[in-house]
């Protein structure tokens, strides 16, 4: 009962009522984050599982990821408009996954630059049809208005955006969580939007290059940041702790799969047991880890 009440309480607090602004927290001056819930895609998915937010400068506003539906994007826009009437000049997507991008269309009236990694547009084009069909299946009419909106400006390596009095440094990464991850660093508050290059609490899902991701973690560790905003889970001050946890999971998964393959164990068994020692450390572990293991196994088998 307590658990049920807890869930209800969370649902009431986290989910915006239809037409209400999305709840956001000002984690540093002018930096606002909405934390998504730890839920899987599928039954019960409501499009609000990723961390999204915005940064307000003296002259303009940048949005960083827009949520998993048009409706969430609109609620995010309402949250911005209840705080500032400055122009929303930039909408930045950290990567293609549908929980991060389907709110883009809600910002089209602002005519912002839509910004992403130079490989984002290709990923969006390739997935748009399936993503939109899946969203309709999961959300029904709550998916209304949700469309894939392509970037209008691409980041090949780095890009600096001036919001007036503060600059955002965008960085395009080599394949890691996906093949088109983008991070955003706010120089005024030293806060780093990490997209899904960092998962906190929720099991990290792999859709790019696991070795590249492990390598990226070393670079991310060295980046100065007072505050880190992960793609999922709470904002953290000590990103090194959480990057280390994530590296440990990724490495254990790879090592366990390799060990099973080397021992000639059946694929099903190897995939099922991989990274079992990590199970208690992560939320949504069973479903996410199985997907990861099934994805990695064929490539590792060929090594
Ligand atoms: Zn993702």
pLDDT single digits (tens) 158-215 = 999 999 999 999 999 999 999 999 999 999 999 999 999 999 999 999 999 999 999 9
Q: Give the predicted TM-score (pTM) of the model.
A: 0.92
What is the CA(262)–ligand 1 centre distance, in A?
30
pLDDT at 185: 98
CA of 116 to the centre of ligand 1 (A): 14
Average of per-residue pLDDT across 17-40: 90
How many whole angstroms from 1 Cα to the centroid of ligand 1?
33
- State residue 290's pLDDT score: 97
Q: What is the pLDDT of residues 43-54, one digit of tens each?
A: 778 899 999 999
The Å distance, Cα 177 to ligand 1 centre, comes to 7
Helices 239-262 and 210-222, axial angle in degrees (round to 10): 160
Closest CA to 163 of 112, 227, 108: 112
In which element (H, E) is residue 195 found?
strand 191-199
Kindly indicate the confidence band of residue 10, based on its pLDDT and cuts at 50, 70 and 90: very low
User: Residue 49 C-alpha to ligand 1 middle, in angstroms?
Assistant: 10
Distance 100 CA to ligand 1 centre (A): 7
In angstroms, what is the span from residue 87 Cα to ligand 1's centroid?
A: 28
Write down the pLDDT at residue 173.
98
Length of the chain: 303
Distance from Cα 59 to the centre of ligand 1, integer Å: 30
Mean of the per-residue pLDDT values for the chain? 93
Quote the pLDDT of residue 54.
98
Residue 195 Cα to ligand 1 midpoint, Å, equals 7
First-to-final CA distance of the chain: 50
User: Above pLDDT 90, what percent of the chain?
Assistant: 89
As a whole number of angstroms, the longest Cα–Cα distance in the chain is 62
What 3-state class would DSSP assign to 68? coil
- What local confidence, expressed as pLDDT, does residue 2 receive? 42
Q: What are the residues whose beta carbon lies below 5 Å from ligand 1 (ion)?
A: 97, 196
Taking Cα atoms as reference points, which of 10, 22, 86 lies closest to residue 55? Answer: 86
Which of helix, strand or coil describes residue 156? coil
What would the two tokens of residue 277 be? Answer: 């020692």
The pLDDT score that the predictor gives to residue 17 is 53
Beta 182-186 vs 191-199: how paired, if at all? Answer: antiparallel
Q: Which of 25, 178, 180, 179 is nearest to 170 (CA)?
A: 180
Cβ contacts of 24 within 8 Å, gap of 6 or more: 32, 33, 34, 53, 54, 76, 79
Kindly give the distance from the C-alpha atom of residue 165 to the centroid of ligand 1, in angstroms, as a whole number: 31
Q: Rounded to the nearest whole angstrom, what is the distance from the C-alpha of residue 205 to the centroid of ligand 1?
A: 7
pLDDT at 8 (0 to 100):
43
**Residues sharing a CB contact under 8 Å with residue 1, sequence separation 6 or more, in sequence order:** none
Q: Examine the pLDDT at 287 and tell me if it is beyond 60.
A: yes
**Phi/psi of residue 201, nearest 5 degrees:** 75, -55
Whole-number Å distance, alpha carbon 128 to ligand 1 midpoint, is 15
Q: What angle do CA 139, 144, 149 make, to 5 degrees?
A: 105
Question: Which H or E run includes 183?
Answer: strand 182-186
**What average pLDDT does the segment 8-30 reach?**
72
> Which residue has tokens 């990590």?
278
d(CA 100, CA 50): 6
């Amino acid at each position: 009962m307590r658990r049920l009440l807890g869930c209800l309480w969370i649902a009431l607090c986290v989910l915006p009522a239809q037409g209400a602004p999305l709840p956001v927290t000002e984690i540093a001056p002018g930096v606002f984050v909405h934390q998504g819930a730890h839920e899987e895609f599928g039954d019960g998915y409501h499009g609000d599982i990723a961390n999204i937010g915005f940064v307000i400068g003296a002259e303009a506003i940048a949005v960083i990821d827009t949520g998993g539906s048009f409706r969430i994007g609109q609620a995010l826009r309402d949250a911005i408009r209840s705080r500032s009437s400055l122009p929303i000049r930039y909408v930045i997507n950290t990567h293609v996954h549908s929980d991060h991008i389907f709110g883009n269309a809600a910002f089209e009236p602002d005519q912002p630059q839509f910004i992403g990694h130079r490989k984002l547009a290709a990923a969006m084009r390739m997935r748009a049809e399936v993503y939109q069909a899946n969203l309709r299946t999961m959300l029904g009419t709550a998916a209304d208005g949700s469309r894939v909106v392509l970037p209008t400006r691409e980041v090949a390596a780095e890009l600096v955006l001036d919001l007036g009095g503060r600059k955002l440094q965008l960085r395009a990464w080599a394949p890691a969580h996906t093949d088109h991850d983008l991070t955003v660093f706010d120089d005024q508050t030293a806060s780093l939007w990490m997209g899904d290059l960092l998962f906190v609490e929720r099991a990290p899902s792999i859709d790019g290059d696991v070795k590249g991701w492990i390598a990226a973690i070393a670079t991310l560790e060295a980046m100065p940041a007072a505050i880190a905003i992960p793609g999922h889970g709470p904002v953290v001050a000590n990103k090194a702790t959480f990057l280390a946890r994530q590296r440990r999971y990724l490495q254990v998964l790879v090592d366990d799969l390799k060990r099973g393959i080397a021992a000639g164990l059946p694929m099903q068994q190897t995939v099922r047991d991989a990274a079992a020692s990590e199970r208690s450390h992560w939320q949504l572990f069973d479903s996410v880890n199985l997907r990861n293991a099934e994805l990695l196994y064929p490539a590792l088998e060929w090594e």
